Amino acid sequence: MNPLELAGARPGPAFTVTFDGRPVEALPGQTVAAALWAAGVTSWRSTRSQGRPRGVFCGIGVCFDCLVTVNGLPNRRACLVPVRPGDVIATQDGTGQEEACHAD
Amino acid sequence: MRTDLAVVGAGPAGLAAALAACARGVRVTLVDAAAQPGGQYYRQPAAGLGAARPEALHHRWRTWKRLRDGLAAHAVHVLTDHHVWSAERTPDGFTVHALLGPEQDQPVEVRARAVLLATGGYEKVLPFPGWTLPGVVTAGGAQAMLKGGLAVPGRRAVVAGTGPLLLPVATGLAAAGVEVAALVESAGPGRLARHGRALAGKLPEGAGYAARLLRHRVPVLTRHTVVRAHGDDRLTGVTVASLDAEGRVRPGTERHLDCDALAVGHGMLPHTDLAESLGCRLDGLTVAIDPEQRTDVPGVWAAGEATGVGGADLALAEGHIAGCSAAAHLRGTAPGPAPAALKARAKLRRSAAALDSAYAPPAHWPEQITDDTVVCRCEEVTAGAVREALDLGAGDERTVKLLTRAGMGWCQGRMCGTAVAGLAGCPPAPGKRPFARPVPLGVLARQHPQEGPS
Ligand SMILES: Cc1cc2nc3c(=O)[nH]c(=O)nc-3n(C[C@H](O)[C@H](O)[C@H](O)COP(=O)(O)OP(=O)(O)OC[C@H]3O[C@@H](n4cnc5c(N)ncnc54)[C@H](O)[C@@H]3O)c2cc1C
Ligand code: FES
């Protein structure tokens, strides 16, 4: 049994994206995080100061651990962003560029 | 856009509230960040996945069908993919500010005469060595990724922490083909039994889970805890140990379990940012409400986990009561929440309180956190650094934050607040975040052109 079988999923045709240059199969409707998990990938960010690997933690957009670069845009939350055909997904090193306002 | 009642959050509480208010003749706009209504409990697989049997991932499917069909039959205006970052009072009511997702760069405003906050919550996880390794996820996060994305974190998982959520997570993962090496619950078996009477309504559900755990051969370790997660660049296993009656790890009881996923959680925390920005009073960490689910700000109601953690049924009852009350006030009729809903709410609140005291993290959890454990995941602040700040005289979360940057990163302290408070030995304080979501500078600049970006 796998989750797709459990839910009786009949997704549309799979498509290809790349993760750090290598091809990964993805399904319509998946988030970037779900597609990477399905491909056995669990980390796609290295932290700013210690360079430690990170991936999904909260799964619902709250923790920002899953930040990733998609099509050149850094700081996308992989657990929220839907994966699209041809996406170029890359491990985000450190911050990417700061583009949002923080309420420190 | 203008409406009578803006409901923020389309989980059980928001759905029940929107349906109740709409049925009483009020124009309702229901706003949610997710792509589909349902909230955490009724999170639906993404449409593109074509799930023919989504009910296989869910409990109480009939209730969901009733809510979903109600939404289709009523004139509730549903705005999905709308991330609300702030709500403010205006001379003629309220303005709810949202960003159109997933890019979250297009601003949208909803103007309403009244607001109902049903924003739910997020999971609390107490740190332990190794908890930042890829493969360690929150229990609810594993559930959300399974229900929404039909994806699982690994092949062999341990489900750990404390609370009623661990049961559906363990059985859900097992049903989806993950080998669940153990369900590790820190509460002792006796504690639940002691609260038996108040939990009476919940027990049939509990018995159902016990049968499912048995069917999937999931070993259950009560009064146990995960003391460390192992791995270099990803999780390879965990050390679990048994706890004594005081909640301390019993030396010599440690053992290793191989796993490539750990789903861990220690309870729920409410989302209160929007309530705080509207000036609503909080009661501890939750939004304070009166018997009609009104906050102390006229025109603002709140329901569900934002007002106290108690599960989906309680959220439904509170949402219904709030929706009835809001409709009555907006239409100038007598408030009329049904006595049945009031009775159900009272009963469910009693069992929620019982569950809350039955499932408590081990009393001495801060002792488990070694100095080299990262506590603030965003800013990579270790427990050692927090303890140093405390030695320097910092007495609360806020001072620790100023000295160490713990809580200043992307998540704005949502992940580390409880842990920092625990290390400091003081009760967790509300976040006081000006925005519920990060806001692009361009949007802020358009909002307040006279002030310019800050
Ligand atoms: C990740 C996770 C998974 C869970 N899974 C289960 C489970 O499987 N079984 C179970 O019994 N309990 C589960 N729970 C517990 C759950 O919180 C409650 O049982 C129930 O869903 C609470 O209902 P609610 O309506 O109060 O809030 P929720 O169901 O949490 O609904 C709140 C809604 O508000 C929306 N929202 C919040 N803030 C904003 C904002 N700023 N802008 C726009 N929208 C916003 C969210 O997107 C969400 O849809 C889970 C909790 C979490 C955090
Ligand atoms: S996993 Fe927490 S924000 Fe994506």
| pLDDT, average across residues B301-324 | 96
CATH number belonging to the domain at B125-266, selected among 3.30.420.40, 3.50.50.60, 3.40.50.620, 3.40.50.20:
3.50.50.60
Closest CA of chain B from A10, distance in Å = 5
CATH class of B369-424: mainly alpha
Give the C-alpha separation, A83 to A34, whole Å: 9
Q: What is the dihedral of CA B165, B170, B176, B177, to 10 degrees?
A: 170
CA proximity to A65, closest of B165, B100, B405, B415:
B415
Q: Pick the ligand that lies closest to the CA of residue B16.
A: 1
pLDDT at A97: 61
Separation in Å, CA of B50 to nearest CA in chain A: 5
Question: Is the Cβ pair A9, B52 closer than 8 Å?
Answer: yes
CA separation for the pair B136, B299 (Å, rounded): 41
B442 pLDDT band, cuts 50/70/90, is confident
Q: Among B99-113, B124-138, B357-371, which range has the highest average pLDDT? A: B124-138
Chain A: nearest CA to B275, how far in angstroms? 17
Rounded-to-10 torsion of CA B186, B189, B193, B194: -60
How far is B28 from B18, CA to CA, in rounded Å?
6
**pLDDT (0 to 100) of residue B50:** 96
B225-250: per-residue pLDDT in tens?
A: 999 999 999 999 999 999 999 999 99
Q: Which two tokens stand for residue B177?
A: 């083909």
Residue limits of CATH 3.50.50.60 in chain B:
2-122+269-337, 125-266
Starting from the CA of residue B136, give the closest ligand. 2
Mutate to test the pocket of ligand 2, among A57, A81, A83 (most ligand atoms within 8 A of CB): A57
Query: Residues B131-163, buried b or exposed e (16+ Cβ, 10 A)?
Result: bbbbbbbbbbbbbbbbbbbbbbbbeebbbbbbb
CATH of domain A12-95: 3.10.20.440
Q: Is residue B453 predicted with pLDDT exceeding 80?
A: no
Question: CATH 1.10.10.1100: which residues of chain B?
Answer: 369-424
> Is ipTM over 0.85?
yes
Residue B452 has pLDDT above 70, yes or no: no
Distance CA B449, CA B445 (A): 5
Q: With contacts defined as CB-CB under 8 Å, which chain B residues touch A11?
A: 48-50
| Residues 8-67 (A) with a CB less than 8 A from some CB of B | 8-12, 27-31, 33-35, 37-38, 42-43, 47-50, 52-65, 67
CB-CB neighbors (< 8 A) of A54 in chain B: 132, 134, 377
Cβ distance B87 to B278 under 8 Å? yes
User: How high does pLDDT run on average in chain B?
Assistant: 92
Pocket test of ligand 2: the residue of A30, A66, A83, A92 to mutate, having most ligand atoms within 8 Å of its CB, is: A66
The SS3 of residue B342 is: helix
At residue B346 the predicted structure's pLDDT band, cuts being 50, 70 and 90, is: very high
DSSP string, B245-284: TTS-B-TT--EEEE-SEEEEE--EEE--HHHHHTTPPEET
Architecture of the domain delimited by B2-122+269-337: 3-Layer(bba) Sandwich (3.50)
| Closest residue, chain B, to A73 (C-alpha) | B103
